[in-house]
Structure 1
Amino acid sequence: MAINNIWTPKLGLDLRGGTTITLTAANVSGSGAVDKTSLELARTIIQQRVDSIGVGESQVTTSGDTQIIVAVPNVAPDKLNEMVGQTAQLYFRPVNTIAASPVPAATASPSAGATPAAGATPTSDATASGPSASPTPNRRPLPMLPTLPPTPRPTVAADKQPTTAEAMAWTPTPQDQAEFEAYKCGDPSPTPDITDQPLITCDRAGQTKFLLGPVILKGSQLTSASAGIPQGQVAPIVALQFNAEGATIFEQATKALVAKTSPQNAFAIVLDSKVISYPEINPLKTPNGIAGGGAEISGSFTMASAQDLANVLKYGALPLSFVLSEQNTVSPTLGGEQLHAGIIAGLIGLALVVIYSLIYYRALAVVVVASLALAAAITYAFMVLLGQAMGFALNLPGIAGAIVAIGVTADSFIIYFERIRDEVRDGRTLRTSIETGWLGSRKTIVIADAVSVLAAVVLFVLAMGAVKGFAFTLGLTTLIDVAIVFFFTKPLVTLLGRTKYFGEGRRFSGFEPDHMGARRRPGLRPRTPAAAGKGA
């Protein structure tokens, strides 16, 4: 903790305020199992959406086979629902202009697995691959334009998909060009992602900006996408296949694109308003466009980046619909009150255990207090460090798990101490009873803690949402209890048993013979070295 200079644990949303929603996914058709790859891609997309609003410490996780849990601090529930509840849309748009757009280091966050641009060729011509579609370095700059009053743009998504001829005939207006020149990656796009309107956006890496035309194809018109290395080749490619309607549109669009020069002979694959890839049409291989509904995207792919693009395309072709199953909103004030109440409850639990120990075990309660204090310190340190290392956030159920652990730890003391009393009542000396009592009690302690850990593991695997915090904390504190009892409590009791005060069972030590139920026989005196030498 000192090395990292971190002294407080991360708090869950129920303790610091925020919104948690649970989304249940289903296929658009309403039947059939949800594909795990699609669910994970949906989680990634939602995470990107949440990150785009600049909210720190947000969490988007999958739960089970159909659910995604989104936890975001300090965001209005309606805004969060609107952001993450919509189904991601995959569009194919013609490229008009490409330009580099460096962004400040504070907002630049290149996405892992961003797909490099590549050329597109027909599936029937698998041996030929097109040139890389990187931004054109010698592109003629746009002329300076006069400042024009902005024209209001549509704010509601339109269902209308323009015809291929309309989309390919589109040219940017002076307003489009002015907004494109002023736009920087990381800023809100001046254009909404509407099918019959242009789009100004960036790639997932946030380094290249695009001025794109209206939508020519939708992801729903793509039937399959796969990554692989064709026979006789060494470079990975991504193979596409459109349905009948999409094949016709794709042939018409590529026939128009192939007649243009770079970068306007490329089409952009846009997912959730971000450009995933923008392959150019190879005029040498496909002078008449790409017919048949099949195409290959090739270029500077690795197998991982090719598979990433193929997964994105498959997800766009088979989108998931989401239903809001659960929503919990906690204000920062209420979260602070809950944290305060949880701490008070834990202190009350500790106080009751200490009072019980003082009354029943007297001075031996020093072992209980020292062991509980060490267990609390180690548990707190683990929570702080796990929050830093793996994002563990302490929530209200987690505090409940820690409070329950006080009882688990106290139970271990009681088992050991009572075993010592049993051994003393059977006539053994105190020092012998401490050792034999440990041998007899440690198996019970291990079994009892193993049951608690098993329950915590099962609960963690089967539970959803915040209940996992209870299970994780209970399991963690139980394992700490085992370590404390074996490596601190037992050695400490052994050391105390060798002192005069505890070893001789003096008043209020907790080891008094009368207090432990052991009575001395009348006339029995302690052995002396001389008497022992005579065989007494």
Structure 2
Amino acid sequence: MASPAGQFHPWRHIITFLVITAALYALVFFTPGSTAPKLGIDLQGGTRVTLLAKTTNGTTPSRDSMNLARDIMERRVNGSGVAGAQVQIDGSNQLVITVPGQNNLEGLTRSAQLNIRPVVARWANPAFVAQAPVTTAPSTTGPAASPSATATGTSGAASTAPSSPATATAQNEATTPATGSSTVTTASSGQGLRGEAAALLPKAASTTDASTTTTASSPSSPPPTTPATATPTGTTGTAATPTAPATVEPPASVFPAGSNPGVLTQPAGSDEAAFTTWETAAKAYANGGGPTCAQIEYFQGLDVPDKPLLACDQNGQFVYLLAQTLIPGTQISDATSGFDTQGGHGWIINVTFKADGFKTWSSYTTAHYDRTGGTNPPPDSMTAFTLDSQVLSAPVINEPITTPGTQVSGSFTQQSAKSLADSLKFGALPLAFDRQESQQVSAELGFQYLKAGLIAGGIGLLLVVVYCLVYYRLLGLITILSLFLSGGLVYAVMVLLGRWIGLSLDMAGIAGLIIAIGITADSFVVYFERIKDEVREGRTFRSSVPRGWKRAKRTILSADAVSFLSAAILYLLAVGDVKGFAFTLGLSTILDLVVVFLVTHPLVALTSKADLFSHPVWSGLGNVARAGQEHRAVAARLQSKEA
């Protein structure tokens, strides 16, 4: 028989709560990460890093630049404001950053200047060419080359002749990068971009990017003989290992004539004539000589977007000559990290352009996409995505791009992808920084204060328990159970938020949780007092529950709304530890509603049908019922006298 319309089903609510709790604890115990809440600096100590600002001309940075760098750095390390990190300016050119735990803070000095630049030319890193013997791979003939077969270099760099009729591995899909490489595709389906092309200049024809993958275009056409490839001495079947950046400023003689003395990877002049002269001198290095990637990376992060640039890829295998910035990183409206489940590229970064940036990107790709079909793409059909003067990827524009979202994929981990996305989202640093020192700092308050806070919370919880048992008898057991379930829910959420947004629990946060005990208990008191009002009017415990809940629900929602609004305003206006207090207070208020609606009310509804809980002595409602009877008797006598 169907249930009457509007009938309350307590078990459905309880099962829903159990499913939610089980799902949260499954994430806690069966996903990577700590199973304990993340503690703040005052409770567990942390890592302190000192960064030294540097400018292109060697002068002291301005105070405005340092303040802006501090604000951007604080947004990076503190995220939503509850990670407990601290960023301070020390002197005229130093930033001191302290974060909870033992974090190595790799990549913290990254300025995160993401620019999109047209590719003018590309050639092999002279350091690899100088040390690598020339080897010739055996050619393949006959039916061995099938349309579905892919050819990749055994040394980590695929070899493709410029005249080869090779095409992209999958039409309109990004090529899967090799380890250590990066590719860029549109966020929808890789529209318009494919893996890096073969050489753009004759001397670069012997080596291609490690991420390039090609397929034979026809089984009947004879495959080209694989040209010579450069392999570092002593390595077979492994990718070349890039050299470390130079620690001493390289000589100007190895860079093109007319280079900027402060940043040798760019021209000194600022007009088109100076740019053209400098680019012509740089192109000559395709025939040999020129700066190595280690020398180029000495100036990493110091480039000016409005000038041409010499840069290297992440592997240090290729030197790129790039034109002025086409789209600056300031045209990025949003950047998020995620896992690519469809393309198989692992952790990726989704970049969304602003309206002006997307308009420029769409117009440029429409005018410069590769019309050769991949046989010999012209230089202007390649665009380089550079981050801090380093080429993340230089894909060929396969067709006009009409979607505003772009994916950057490479050998990212979850942490590095999130770090880079945050850097791009929160903005580029106005200065370049060198990491001076890193040290561990001890807890300011330590375990004793944490223990004291927990004891204070335990005492408060004990007082609430005693009050509920004395005043509400067996109904107090429901209150106690609800409090413990609420605590379990808060624990799981705190652990997960510590992983996801870096939420750290400090003494201010513990204070917020202790106050939340009172807010949760207040909801129970409001509910039970409304039930008492109904019993006082002569109704039974069973019939009083739904009527009392209807009246109490509005009061509970109003009270929790006020508490949450207060916490939200405090969170938005406060800084530092007060943000943590406001966050935990607001979080506990939300979870209080979950427990009251999914646990407390359903349990009271179930117990109202039990004789034990309905008994006036055990329910704590006996005195109320007697008082109601006496009141009604007096009212009846007065009414009879008046009649």
TM-score in terms of structure 2 length: 0.47
- Which residues of 2 match residues 396-475 of structure 1 at below 5 A? 396-475=507-586
Kindly state the Cα deviation for residue 492 of structure 1 after the two structures are TM-superposed. Answer: 1.7
Match of 2:102 among 74, 82, 98: 74
Letter in 2 for 1:354: V
Partner of 2:383: 301
Match of 2:494 among 383, 386, 400: 383
Partner of 1:532: none
Give distance in 2, aligned partners of 1:399 and 1:30. Answer: 36
Give distance in 1, aligned partners of 2:535 and 2:477. Answer: 20
Does the 8 A contact of 1:456 with 1:474 survive in 2? yes
Give distance in 2, aligned partners of 1:111 and 1:429. Answer: 71
Matched, 1:5 2:22: no
Residue ranges of structure 1 left out of the alignment (5+ in a row):
48-57, 103-107, 122-127, 145-182, 199-210, 223-240, 283-295, 525-536
- Of residues 296-305 and 22-31 in structure 1, the stretch that sits farther from structure 2 once superposed is 22-31
Matched, 1:19 2:47: yes
Give distance in 2, aligned partners of 1:129 and 1:60. Answer: 52
Does the 8 A contact of 1:371 with 1:488 survive in 2? yes
Kindly state the Cα deviation for residue 427 of structure 1 after the two structures are TM-superposed. Answer: 3.7
Give distance in 1, aligned partners of 2:439 and 2:519. Answer: 31
Partner of 2:289: 264
Kindly state the Cα deviation for residue 300 of structure 1 after the two structures are TM-superposed. Answer: 3.8
Partner of 1:503: 614
Residues matched between the structures, number: 405
Letter in 2 for 1:360: Y
CA spacing shift, 1:13–1:494, aligned 2, 3 Å: closer
Give distance in 1, aligned partners of 2:537 and 2:54. Answer: 67
Does the 8 A contact of 1:135 with 1:263 survive in 2? no
Match of 2:451 among 315, 337, 340: 340
CA spacing shift, 1:332–1:26, aligned 2, 3 Å: same
CA spacing shift, 1:372–1:297, aligned 2, 3 Å: farther
Q: Secondary structure at the match of 1:476?
A: helix
Does the 8 A contact of 1:130 with 1:280 survive in 2? no
Letter in 1 for 2:442: S
Match of 1:194 among 227, 249, 254: 249
Letter in 2 for 1:475: G
CA RMSD in angstroms comes to 6.2
Kindly state the Cα deviation for residue 378 of structure 1 after the two structures are TM-superposed. Answer: 1.6
Kindly state the Cα deviation for residue 372 of structure 1 after the two structures are TM-superposed. Answer: 0.4
Does the 8 A contact of 1:404 with 1:474 survive in 2? yes
Give distance in 1, aligned partners of 2:246 and 2:596. Answer: 64
Letter in 1 for 2:622: E
- Of residues 395-404 and 443-452 in structure 1, the stretch that sits farther from structure 2 once superposed is 395-404
Does the 8 A contact of 1:12 with 1:395 survive in 2? yes
Q: Secondary structure at the match of 2:472?
A: helix
Deviation string 1:95-117 (CA, Å, 9 cap, x unpaired) is 64237998xxxxx8767869998
Letter in 1 for 2:623: P
Does the 8 A contact of 2:513 with 2:585 survive in 1? yes
Matched, 1:98 2:128: yes
CA spacing shift, 1:8–1:436, aligned 2, 3 Å: same
- Which residues of 2 match residues 126-525 of structure 1 at below 5 A? 134=208, 138=228, 189=244, 191-192=246-247, 194=249, 196=251, 216-217=259-260, 244=269, 254-262=279-287, 264=289, 270=297, 271-272=300-301, 275=312, 279-280=319-320, 298=380, 300-301=382-383, 319-320=430-431, 331=442, 334-389=445-500, 391-506=502-617, 508-513=618-623, 517-520=627-630
Letter in 2 for 1:356: Y
Kindly state the Cα deviation for residue 456 of structure 1 after the two structures are TM-superposed. Answer: 2.9
Does the 8 A contact of 1:405 with 1:474 survive in 2? yes
Does the 8 A contact of 1:431 with 1:497 survive in 2? yes
Give distance in 2, aligned partners of 1:433 and 1:519. Answer: 15
Does the 8 A contact of 1:25 with 1:320 survive in 2? yes
Letter in 2 for 1:98: F
Give distance in 2, aligned partners of 1:336 and 1:261. Answer: 62
CA spacing shift, 1:522–1:33, aligned 2, 3 Å: closer
Give distance in 2, aligned partners of 1:8 and 1:31. Answer: 42
Deviation string 1:389-431 (CA, Å, 9 cap, x unpaired) is 5554444333322222111100101111122223333343333
Does the 8 A contact of 2:513 with 2:584 survive in 1? yes
Does the 8 A contact of 1:350 with 1:406 survive in 2? yes
Does the 8 A contact of 2:84 with 2:577 survive in 1? no
Letter in 1 for 2:620: G
Does the 8 A contact of 1:20 with 1:70 survive in 2? yes
Kindly state the Cα deviation for residue 317 of structure 1 after the two structures are TM-superposed. Answer: 11
CA spacing shift, 1:475–1:221, aligned 2, 3 Å: farther
Residue ranges of structure 2 left out of the alignment (5+ in a row):
1-24, 56-60, 89-94, 115-122, 133-154, 157-178, 186-192, 211-226, 235-239, 303-310, 323-377, 387-392, 395-405, 409-420, 635-643
CA spacing shift, 1:135–1:485, aligned 2, 3 Å: closer
Give distance in 1, aligned partners of 2:440 and 2:467. Answer: 39
Give distance in 1, aligned partners of 2:519 and 2:128. Answer: 64
Letter in 1 for 2:613: F
CA spacing shift, 1:300–1:493, aligned 2, 3 Å: same
CA spacing shift, 1:523–1:88, aligned 2, 3 Å: closer
Partner of 1:204: none
Kindly state the Cα deviation for residue 445 of structure 1 after the two structures are TM-superposed. Answer: 0.3
TM-score in terms of structure 1 length: 0.55
CA spacing shift, 1:339–1:468, aligned 2, 3 Å: same
Does the 8 A contact of 2:535 with 2:621 survive in 1? no
CA spacing shift, 1:486–1:300, aligned 2, 3 Å: same
Q: Percent identity?
A: 34
